[in-house]
Amino acid sequence: MINKNAFRDMSYGVYIVSTLDGARPTGCVANSVMQITSEPATIAVSINHGNYTNSCIEKTGKFAISILSEESDSGLIGTFGFQSGKEVNKFDGVEAVVKEDVSVIADACGYVICKVIDKMETFTHTVFLGEVIDADVLKKEDAMTYAYYHKVVKGKSPKNAPTYIAEEAEEVKTAKWVCGICGYEYDGKVPFEELPEDFTCPLCKQPKSVFKKVD
């Protein structure tokens, strides 16, 4: 018997994985990142086939991991996690620093740049193995864990994330107001209907009008 709720106890960070689309930077949100070897240092990252970033990493053979901190702007998750880099330049308006030609989120607590040295294909995701060519700490802040994002920021998973299914298992008990763009669930004390009209989604910054009532 597979009780998928057990998967929710596995711990992850929250990362923006970026690469190049020609000369343009692009990227997506990822949780599935882990160090594999220490000398030389290698990192594995799992990216859904459906993510535009996957095909771009395939082409350039290079990726950056920006490690988000608890203080990082959670709007980054909406920007990078809930729209496609095929259609928009996700780095528009995002403060970035370029390292080894790849754009890194300036608001992250650290970054790691890798060149792809191997990969493993699965049904839906590619696990890229990257050798680290550059890495540094940007801010002395606690790294954001997925549990923190879920519990404190009240965030949801993009639908391509392996963690997505686990959340579907949650029971919906009462009517909720959910952002139609990023899935953020409003749970403030003020009833949603009474919020000012200039209320915006704290995650993806979309207006109040994109919220939908879910029974």
Residues of this chain that bind its own copies (CB under 8 A):
1-7, 9-13, 31-44, 46, 67, 69, 109-112, 118-120, 122-125, 127, 129, 132-137, 142-147, 162-166
- Shortest CB 145 distance to its own copies, Å: 5
Strands (E), 49-165: 62-67, 96-99, 102-105, 110-121, 125-137
Decide whether 37 or 84 has the Cβ nearer to its own copies.
37
Closest to 90 in 3D by CA, of 5, 197, 16: 16
Decide whether 5 or 84 has the Cβ nearer to its own copies.
5
| CA separation for the pair 215, 179 (Å, rounded) | 14
Decide whether 30 or 201 has the Cβ nearer to its own copies.
30
Neighbours of 192 (CB within 10 A): 16
73 to each of 91, 94, 104, 143, 207, how far by Cα in Å?
A: 14, 10, 14, 12, 17
- Shortest CB 187 distance to its own copies, Å: 20
Report residue 3 CA to chain centroid gap: 25
- Shortest CB 88 distance to its own copies, Å: 26
- Shortest CB 117 distance to its own copies, Å: 9
Decide whether 113 or 178 has the Cβ nearer to its own copies.
113
Please name the residues in contact with 15: beta carbons below 8 A apart, sequence gap of 6 or more: 29, 30, 31, 33, 45, 65, 66, 67, 68
